[in-house]
Structure 1
C-alpha cells in the first residue's frame, strides 16, 4: 500500500475472494465486487453486484424445518468481458499462463486498475489493461475500459461482453443449503446497434431491475440474446505494440428508484446519454475529490493508509447518494452476502463519524429507522410489550430478520439462534438519534422524528422493566447482550439472561434523554405528541423512577456482565489456545465438543466495556450516580482488567472497542488493539470472513477512533468538547468536520498542540470546551492551544 493506492502483485487464487471484497467499487446506490471480468462465479471468483435496499425473501428446507430468509439480492452481473484468439480457448488466469498480474485500487479517484499479461507460447504475449469505475457523480452508471496489446504477434482477438441474469446468491458457503435463486422473468433485447438491455424481477418482493450496456470498439459489434444473458461480440485486429480498446458503459435502475416510470426505460435512456469513457472518468474523479475534502482525515504512516482505505469503503457504501434512499447500514457493506445484507446495530459505530461530515446521510439512515417505527411498535405489541421493539436484524420492511437457525461449520449442526433477544438495538438507535441532533443542530428532526422514536423506545424499556421487591429495584429479564456468546443460563429451558449491565445502563440513558428531550419541546408540539401517543405525566414519572432504579449487578468489585455471570465456571484459556490456536469463535469450538459457552466466563466481544465506548468517563460516572451506584476510576479499571482476560475477540468490533477504552485506561496496551482493529479486514484476521463482505462498523469505528476517541470529542450542550489523549503511535493527525452548519472546521494535533480553524462564513461562532478552559472561535478565526502533559 501507499498513501493513496492499494495494490496486489501476482495472481493468487486463494486470495481472490479477499481481493474482490477489498477492491469493490461502489457509490452508495450500488456496488460491484472487484472480480476479474473474464471469470465466472466458481470456488475462486465471485463477481457480485448489489443495489442498496434491494431485498428478496425465500423459504428453504433446512434441518427438517421450513426456514424463511430475506437477502440482499445479487443482481445481474454487468461485468462479463472475455477474450480469446481465434480458434483458441477463452483466456482466464486459471486456465492460461500468467506472466504478470497486478491490481491497483486508486483511492483518490475510485478507479480499479488491472494489468495482466498472458503468455501464449513461442514468445507471444497478450497484455490486458483495464480501468473500472462505479460512477460517484451519477449513481446509476458504471464503466469498464479494456486495452489489449499484442506482443510478438498479429492476429484477430475475439471479445465478448455480456449482461448475465443467471446469477444466484451463492457467495457464502454456509448459506448454500438455502435457496439463493432470487431473480426471475429475465428478458433481453437491443436498443441501438451498440446497446443491449436486460430486465428481470425479484421472485417475491417483485422489484423490477433494468440494466443496459453500450459497447464501443474500433470494430463492428454483433448481438446475441440467449436467456438469461445478452451478449455483444466484436473482433479486434491486433498489431504488436498498438493497444486496441473496448469500452463498456452500463446503467442500472430498479423500481424502487424515484422519478422514473420504468427501470428498463430509465437504464436504456441513461446509457444512451452517457458520455465517452474519458468524460465519465473526469466527472467521476471530480466527485471523489469533493468527498475526500469533506471527509479529510490526515494520519501519517501505515495507519493513515489503512484508515484511508476504510474511509474509501465507508463512502462507497454510504455516500451522499444514500441520502435519497430508504436504506439502513448493511453490516457487511455492499461488498458481499454475509449476514444476508442485513442491518444490525452497526450504525452505532458508523453514524458518529458521518454526523460530522455527511449529516444528510445520517439523517437518511435515521429516517430508515423512523419509517419502520410502526413495525417496531407492532413487534412489541405482539410480544406483549408497549412502545417500539426494533429488530436485531432488519431488511426491507422492518420485521425481525434474524435467522431461526445458524450453522456451526465445525460440527455441521444447525442450532437455534436466539440473537433476536438483543433488544439493546433500540438503545443504539436512540443513541444515534441523540448524537445526530447534537452534532447537526437539526431542531426540526429533534422535535419530530427524533422525539417520536425516543418516546417509543423509552416506553418499551419502561414496560420491559419489572419491580423486584427484594432488591428494591427494577429488573429487565430475558435478553441477550452484545457479547452474543451467552444466550441462556446453563441447563436453562428458556433462552435469555437477566439484568445485562449494558442493556440496563443504556436503557436508563434512553429514559433520561427522552425525558430531557420531551421537556425541551415547544409546548404545542409536546401536546400534539402526547395526544397522539397517550403520553401523560404519570407515565413520565414512572420513566424517571425506572431510570434511577434499574438493577446493575456487581461481583468481586467489578460490574457483572449479567446477573449470575460471576457464578459461571472459569475457562481454561491456556488449554484451548494450545489446542486450537485461534479461539475467536470459541462458541463453535465448545459446541463441537458437545459443551456450551453458556457455562463459562468467556465473552465473544466487548459487552460491559461497550459502556466505556459510548460514554466518556465523566458521563458514565454520572449515569451510575443517577442509578445510585458508585463507579470510580478504580472500579472501572478493575472491570476493564477483568473482561480483558475473559474475551476471545470473536468480532471485528471487539478490538476496536478495547482499543478505544485503553487509549484512556492503559495507553501502553491500547496500540495492540488499535492495530487489530485496523488490520481486521486487510489481513482477514477472522479467517475467510472478509471475502464475504467487509466489516463496515469496524472500518467506520477506526475512523471515529481518531475523530472522537483520540480527541475526546463530544458534541453536547451546544459546544464542541475536546479532551485529547496522547497515544504515542498516533500523536500527530488532522481532520475536518462539519459542525452545526460550519463546513470544513479543521482540527490538527501536533506535538502537544491543538490547532482549530473555523472557515469564514456567516454562521455563528463555535464554542470549544477543553478541561478547565473554554474558547469561542469566530468564523475565519484559528485557535492554537497548548495541551497539558
Structure 2
C-alpha cells in the first residue's frame, strides 16, 4: 500500500498523546467523521473512537449539583471502526496490554487516508505486523472502509479477527461532562443481510432519529456472524505463515433518518454496502474526489507554515465539504472531531465563512440557510425579552433554541458555577456580517434579497429595540450583555449579570443597522414591500434605525476604547505574579475562581474583544464606522488601544492568537509572527492544555487560512471590486491561491518578490475590477495582471 504526498506523522505509541492524535487524525467528508482511534481499542481513559454525523443531536436531562439540567449533544454514533484480533485462544492484542515493538501513524492529506503500522510482540515469540489504511469516502458520503494487512514473523500463527458495529457507546469523551447523562442511543436491533453483511439499527432517546449501519467483511477465509444485543459482529479465523501477508477489508455504510431520498436508513445502508465496490476502487474514487476539492481550495504556502495550513484546511474540508450543502447543519465549533462544547454551533462561522465564500460558496449558502431556518426561534427569543426582531442564541444545535449550559464546571475548584454566556447577543451581528460578506464575495442577489434580507432586517430590528436613550449622554446604550471576551460577565459585586455598552457589541450593532438601511434602499420596490409587509415594519422604524446607528455609545478611558462602560475603573492584575505562580494562565478565570476571586474585578481579557473590530473591518471601514457614530478614530488612538489590550489578555481561546496576529500584521508587523505562530500551532501543539483531544478548534483553523487569503493580502470584496492592500510579513512572503469570485472559477492570486499576479481564466464573464491602493484596473478573462507592489 504505497501512498505519496504531504503527511502528518506520529512515531511510537504514547498513551498520553492518544486523544490528541485521535482528533488530529480524524477522517470525515462533511456528512460524518470518525476520530483517528485504533480499531482494536474501545473507549477508555486513553482511547475514544467517536463517530459523529453533521446535525445529529439528542437532548437529555441530568441531575447536576442538586439541579435538573438539560443539555443537547451531538450524538456519538455506533462505532463502525471496531476490528480486534488475537492469537487463537489468546488475549485480544492492544497496545496498552501487549508489548509494542514499533508503532507509526501517518495521515496522508492529499488522498484523505489514515495509515498505521504496529508491530506486536506475540506470547511465545514472534511478531505480528499490523498495517491498516482507512478512509471516510469523500465521493460517497455514506461509505467508509478499513483495510487491514496482517503479517507474522518468526512463526506460524492462527489469528482470530473480529469486526463489529458497536452500539454500546456513550457520549463520554469530555471529562468535565461526566456527571451528565450521555446515553443517547436506544432500541437496538442487529441482524444479517446478504452473505458477508451484518447490520445494526438504533434510535436516539428523545429526538427519535434513526440510524442504520451495515458492514461487509472480505477475506480469503470463511467469515462467520455472531450478532449480539448491541453489536453486529463478524469473525474470521486466519492462518498466517511467516512473511506472507493476509488482507481483511471492512466496508461500512451509514444512513440516518435525516437523509433525503431514502425510505428507511437501515434498508438504505444495507443496499449501499452491498453495492459498494472493493477497497481499491473505493480508494481510487475517494482520491479523485479529494484531488478535485484540493484544486478548488488549496493554499500554496512554502515551508512549515504551509504544511500546518494544509492540515488546517484538511480538517475544515472534512467538517464542511460540498456534501454539507445538502444538509441542515451549522458550523460546530469543534468540528466533527469530538464532544467538547457538545457539538454546538457558536459564532465560529464568522471565522470560517470568509474562506468558504471564495472557494465553496454553495457551502456558505447552506450554512446561512441553517441560520435562516432558525429565524423563527430567534424571533421567539427576542419576544421573550420584550423586543422585536431576532435574537440568535449563543449556542445552538438542532432547532435554534438557546443551548448554552446553565452551569459550567471549573475543573480547578471542582465547583459548578452559573453560566451567563448566553448574554453574548453579538452572535446576531456575526450572522448579519456573514450574510453581507457572502453577498459581496458571490454577488448572489437572490439570496441577499431573499433569506439574507429577512435575517438582516430582523437582526437590525432587535438592535434598535435593544438600544435605550440616555439623555445625560445624549446617546443610545445597549445594556446587560457579555462581549466576546467572555471573562467579564458582570460588574464586581453586582446582583445581576451583564455589562453595559460593550464596545464591540455597540459598534457591530451600528454596522448592522447601517447595512439594513442600505439594503432597504437597494431592494426592488416590490420585494421591499413584501418584506416590510411581511415583518410588519412600521413607518418610523427606518428613521429610528438611522438615529441609533449614529448615536450608540462607545466608552473610552485613558485615551483608548473601553471594552465596556466601567472597564477603566477595574483593578490592574499582577500579570507577572500570576505567571510566576502558574505555568499557564490562559484560563485565568478558573485560576481566580479557585482562589475565591473573580476575573470581573480586573482589566483582564480571555481573548480579543475590542480588537475584534480590527479583525472584521479594514482601517478605512472602522474609521468610517466611528465617524458615523460621531467619534474620531485615528491611527494613534487605535495603536494605543491595541497596545492596551495586548498587555491585558491571557489568550484563553485559540481565536485570540489568530485575531492578534491578523491585527498586528497590519498595524505593527514586527510583533505579528509570534501570534501567527500561536494560531498555527494552537491545535497541533495542544496549547490550550488538553482541549484538542476533545475536538479541534475549527474557527481558529479556518481563520489561519483566511489570515493568508484576506489578512495578508488586504483582500476585500466590497462594491463589486476586488480590493488588495498586501502587507509584507517576512515569514509569509510568498503564497498563492485560487478563488471563486462573482461567477469566475479559479481566479488565481500569487504574491512573491514584491509582485502580485492575478490570473483570470477564460470565460464569457465580465472583466474583474482590481483595486490596488488607489488604482483600479480591469482584468479581462483569459488574461493575467502583474502589479508591482508599492514600497
Q: Normalising by the residue count of structure 1, what TM-score does the alignment of the two structures yield? A: 0.99
Q: Are 1:75 and 2:99 an aligned pair?
A: no
> Residue in 2 aligned with 1:260?
262
> Residue in 1 aligned with 2:41?
39
| CA apart distance, 1:230 | 1.2
> Residue in 1 aligned with 2:427?
425
Q: Are 1:84 and 2:86 an aligned pair?
A: yes
> Residue in 2 aligned with 1:320?
322
**C-alpha distance in 1 between matches for 2:609 and 2:141:** 38
| Deviation per residue, 1:668-720 (Å, 9 max, x gap) | 00000000000000000011000000000000000000000000000010010
Change (3 A) 1:3 1:659: farther
| Deviation per residue, 1:326-353 (Å, 9 max, x gap) | 0000000000000000000000000000
3-state SS of 1:198 partner: strand
| CA apart distance, 1:3 | 7.0
**C-alpha distance in 2 between matches for 1:530 and 1:536:** 8
**C-alpha distance in 2 between matches for 1:334 and 1:434:** 27
- Does the CA-based 8 Å contact 2:199-2:215 persist in structure 1? yes
Given candidates 446, 449, 462, the residue that maps to 2:448 is 446
**C-alpha distance in 2 between matches for 1:268 and 1:309:** 33
| Deviation per residue, 1:302-324 (Å, 9 max, x gap) | 00000000000000000000000
- Does the CA-based 8 Å contact 2:5-2:110 persist in structure 1? no
| Deviation per residue, 1:461-494 (Å, 9 max, x gap) | 0000000000000000000000000000000000
- Does the CA-based 8 Å contact 2:549-2:629 persist in structure 1? yes
> Residue in 1 aligned with 2:644?
642
**C-alpha distance in 2 between matches for 1:761 and 1:47:** 47
**C-alpha distance in 2 between matches for 1:260 and 1:502:** 46
> Residue in 1 aligned with 2:559?
557
Aligned residues: 789
Given candidates 301, 304, 316, the residue that maps to 1:302 is 304
| CA apart distance, 1:115 | 0.4
- Does the CA-based 8 Å contact 2:298-2:313 persist in structure 1? no
| Deviation per residue, 1:49-68 (Å, 9 max, x gap) | 00000000000000000000
Consecutive unaligned residues of structure 2, counting only runs of 5 or more, are none
3-state SS of 1:622 partner: helix
| Deviation per residue, 1:731-787 (Å, 9 max, x gap) | 111111000110110000001100000011111111101112111011110000000
| CA apart distance, 1:154 | 1.2
- Does the CA-based 8 Å contact 1:18-1:690 persist in structure 2? yes
| CA apart distance, 1:391 | 0.2
- Does the CA-based 8 Å contact 2:5-2:108 persist in structure 1? no
Q: Are 1:332 and 2:334 an aligned pair?
A: yes
- Does the CA-based 8 Å contact 1:20-1:691 persist in structure 2? yes
3-state SS of 1:760 partner: coil
Q: Are 1:622 and 2:641 an aligned pair?
A: no
Given candidates 509, 512, 536, the residue that maps to 2:511 is 509
> Residue in 2 aligned with 1:109?
111
**C-alpha distance in 1 between matches for 2:323 and 2:659:** 29
> Residue in 1 aligned with 2:144?
142
> Residue in 2 aligned with 1:169?
171
> Residue in 1 aligned with 2:57?
55
Q: Are 1:229 and 2:231 an aligned pair?
A: yes
Q: Are 1:534 and 2:536 an aligned pair?
A: yes
| CA apart distance, 1:459 | 0.2
Between 149-158 and 365-374, report the one with greater CA deviation: 149-158
**C-alpha distance in 2 between matches for 1:242 and 1:713:** 57
- Does the CA-based 8 Å contact 1:3-1:304 persist in structure 2? no
| Deviation per residue, 1:211-269 (Å, 9 max, x gap) | 00000011111101111111100011111111100000000000000000000000000
- Does the CA-based 8 Å contact 2:721-2:769 persist in structure 1? yes
| CA apart distance, 1:536 | 3.5
Given candidates 175, 178, 181, the residue that maps to 1:179 is 181
> Residue in 2 aligned with 1:347?
349
3-state SS of 2:439 partner: helix
- Does the CA-based 8 Å contact 1:3-1:305 persist in structure 2? no
- Does the CA-based 8 Å contact 1:655-1:677 persist in structure 2? yes
3-state SS of 1:297 partner: coil
- Does the CA-based 8 Å contact 1:328-1:365 persist in structure 2? yes
| Deviation per residue, 1:254-303 (Å, 9 max, x gap) | 00000000000000000011000000000000000001000020000000
Q: Are 1:24 and 2:19 an aligned pair?
A: no
> Residue in 2 aligned with 1:783?
785
3-state SS of 1:743 partner: strand
> Residue in 1 aligned with 2:698?
696
| Deviation per residue, 1:424-474 (Å, 9 max, x gap) | 000000000000011011110011001000000000000000000000000
**C-alpha distance in 1 between matches for 2:231 and 2:534:** 53
| CA apart distance, 1:537 | 3.6
> Residue in 2 aligned with 1:572?
574
3-state SS of 2:739 partner: strand
- Does the CA-based 8 Å contact 2:607-2:655 persist in structure 1? yes
**C-alpha distance in 1 between matches for 2:244 and 2:377:** 61
**C-alpha distance in 1 between matches for 2:304 and 2:147:** 31
| CA apart distance, 1:88 | 1.2
**C-alpha distance in 2 between matches for 1:87 and 1:163:** 23
**C-alpha distance in 2 between matches for 1:173 and 1:605:** 24
> Residue in 2 aligned with 1:664?
666
**C-alpha distance in 1 between matches for 2:627 and 2:338:** 44
**C-alpha distance in 2 between matches for 1:780 and 1:483:** 47
**C-alpha distance in 2 between matches for 1:440 and 1:518:** 20
Given candidates 191, 194, 197, the residue that maps to 2:196 is 194
- Does the CA-based 8 Å contact 2:212-2:255 persist in structure 1? yes
**C-alpha distance in 1 between matches for 2:485 and 2:13:** 38
| Deviation per residue, 1:479-520 (Å, 9 max, x gap) | 000000000000000000000000000000000001101110
3-state SS of 2:394 partner: coil
| CA apart distance, 1:645 | 0.4
| Deviation per residue, 1:550-583 (Å, 9 max, x gap) | 0000000000000000000000001100001200
- Does the CA-based 8 Å contact 1:733-1:750 persist in structure 2? yes
> Residue in 2 aligned with 1:293?
295
Q: Normalising by the residue count of structure 2, what TM-score does the alignment of the two structures yield? A: 0.99
> Residue in 2 aligned with 1:4?
6
3-state SS of 2:622 partner: helix
**C-alpha distance in 1 between matches for 2:179 and 2:25:** 28
| CA apart distance, 1:155 | 2.4
**C-alpha distance in 1 between matches for 2:767 and 2:553:** 42
**C-alpha distance in 2 between matches for 1:707 and 1:774:** 20
**C-alpha distance in 1 between matches for 2:788 and 2:52:** 48
**C-alpha distance in 1 between matches for 2:212 and 2:178:** 27
3-state SS of 2:369 partner: helix
Q: Are 1:369 and 2:371 an aligned pair?
A: yes
**C-alpha distance in 1 between matches for 2:624 and 2:749:** 28
| CA apart distance, 1:121 | 5.2
> Residue in 1 aligned with 2:465?
463
| CA apart distance, 1:123 | 4.9
3-state SS of 2:227 partner: strand
**C-alpha distance in 1 between matches for 2:753 and 2:124:** 61
| CA apart distance, 1:164 | 0.4
3-state SS of 1:225 partner: coil
> Residue in 1 aligned with 2:485?
483
> Residue in 2 aligned with 1:753?
755
3-state SS of 1:192 partner: coil
Consecutive unaligned residues of structure 1, counting only runs of 5 or more, are none
